[in-house]
Structure 1
Amino acid sequence: MQPQQQLVAEPQVRAIEWRGDSLRLIDQRLLPGEESYVDCSDAAEVAEAIHVMAVRGASAVGIAAAYGIALAARRLGEAEDWSKALEADFTLLAATRPATMHLSWALRMMRERLQRLLPGADVPAELARAAVSIHESDLEANRTMGKLGMQLIRRHHKTRQRLLTHCNAGALASGGYGTALGVVRAAHDAGLVEQVYVDETRPWLQGARLTAWELAREGIPAVLNVDAAAGHLMKTMDITWVIVGAERIAANGDVIARIGTYALSILAMHHGLRFMVVAPSSAIDPALEVGDDAQLDEGDSDDVLIVGNRRLDAGVPAFNPAFDVTPADLIDAIVTERGIVERPDARKLADLVSHRHLH
């Protein structure tokens, strides 16, 4: 049984490619040195790709998981009780990154599509279409966020600006355009970017290995810097914006993002820079009252320091938290596909998500 394949708009960086009977993922562990791919034919292989971080980034993980469910249905072909038959696959995929809002959101969308299907429906084909729809909507949302974020920059600055970003929130981490890097791309296309400073992002170096690679491919002027240099750069290089992504956003506007984001927000406030968070509305968790209530991923204690593909061990215990919490009062704007929330708080975010949409 061959699900109907729909086309996703062509991105500059193709990190996720649905092939109807398989899912092709660019192996982010090998970038920038090698552009290699992982082919997945079932949910277990997609779960493994997420677990080993061959695919990473909140939106990309959610999209991959949706395709994982489509692949699981395709392998089954038919079942008397589809919900029961696919429950183990839903559970397996949900366990790969339980703190990632977009993963739980994407799997919830797939469950809801499954429950709405009429008797006699071609379930594998319908779930494949649902996964493609999630992918397409993410790409569309990214482009909308890019435009909104660019307009926000242009509202304050009419000339080329120097921007700083952290971790990777680009095409590799999304459906194909990016959240924070989507804004950078749109701003560059609008003639508003003089230079992008890229935090290397310890300990996994996503900025050095992924963001720098994306910007180089796009021809966007970029300089890679060690994380510890961010304050010095803000002081000396006339940077005007810090633009970052988010893993999760609490109901009050606190942002859970890659470790180091909180420190950047404090530095930005001290130096008079504006601080922009760019994330799909699916990252907003109304059930999480404040960011400090979240259970943060503390990372892998073995990841003392990553240099290239080598781990350096200093011989002492390591503390490498994966995420931190940036308080809402340090954030100038949260940009989503639904709109911009400036000086975010609980009331403004509640208004933003008051009407339910796919994105």
Structure 2
Amino acid sequence: MHKIKNVLIGITGSIAAFKIPELVRLFKKEKFNVKIIQTKSSLDFVSPLTLSVLSENKVLSSTITYEKTWNNHVSLSNWADIFIIAPLTANTLAKMANGQCDNLLLATYLSTKCKTYVAPAMDLDMFQHHTTKTNLLTIEKHGIKVIPAKFGELASGLIGDGRMAEPQEIFNITINKSNPKLKGKNVLITAGPTYENIDPVRFIGNRSSGKMGIEIAKICSDFGAKVNLILGPIAKQFEYDNVTIHKIESAKQMYDTAISLYSDSDILIFSAAVSDYSPEKTNELKLKKKDDFLNIKLKRTKDIILEISKRKNKDQFIVGFALETDNAIKNAKLKLHNKKLDMIILNSLEDKGAGFQKDTNKISIIDKNNNITKYKLKNKSEVAKDIIDNIIKLKYA
């Protein structure tokens, strides 16, 4: 049950405003009441008609009037359980930091007593300007939760920080942080690939991007947990509130780190694609190309999940992942029971858009009683939410 039901969204004049209909859709899908305030400049980027159809409420603005209707900023602030300003431009940010009140959105902001979130969106140079940084710090001191802007391609064509967080992430943060189902819990997650060095240049590895484990870490944090994320070598930089990142490269390093952290964990989620084999010997110098064939003797790496399952206490909940190319359900169940897991997530390689390096995934969840729940192809952030919801249902319901 959600602790909040009334969501007020404020939209300012950024190109990122075109994403807000999707945010409205996410809230309405979960049965929230949604009202929207638009600034005058935002009307150029997203239609009030579109937003009113999706929200099932008339859009409010200093420049939009409805016959026989008067919208009081005080009544709006009293109605809202949370207030989300997205996208937040540098201009509106500056006004918020200095207490200015020249439109309905700002008047409502100054009147509101509920939790307020902002999702900045601006070009790289504006975002990096010391004035912008100071203004963000100022509103944070006033209790505003800033949803960090992302690194990526911006409207100007520049690459860097300033991209508004995606609607799904805004939804996850605002709703889950208001409903901390894992508050006080410690979660251990492994993610990404491992690299087993052959020589200083070459290694045995796999195509794992770590995206699934990272999204799970975000959801756990949003739900109030403290997260230890053991992260293999990936290109993407990642930081998140209440997530401590332990960077590793090899299967042995991941094993050693997991063993050192597992005992304090309430929930353990092993999503990493760990190498099953490692070269028996790592060459100190680069191997030269000489013969038509190269023989490398491999040895088994330690099975992290199996070792921790042997040591776990009765209150710990362990989740594994399986990626199978044949007899998928049968093999996933074998892994579930042989390794004494509480739940296993079966990934699909057969469906387009699922698997390594994709932003979407299609999973089946199998619990230790062999109950199977199958899901359609979804964004990995949504998949992560499904996984955590199932863990909470099985362990804490």
Q: Fold match, TM over 0.5? A: no
- Greater per-residue strand proportion: 2
Larger radius of gyration: 2
By relative contact order (CA 8 Å, sep 6+), the higher-ranking structure is: 1
- Give the TM-score taking structure 1 as reference length: 0.31
- Greater per-residue helix proportion: 1
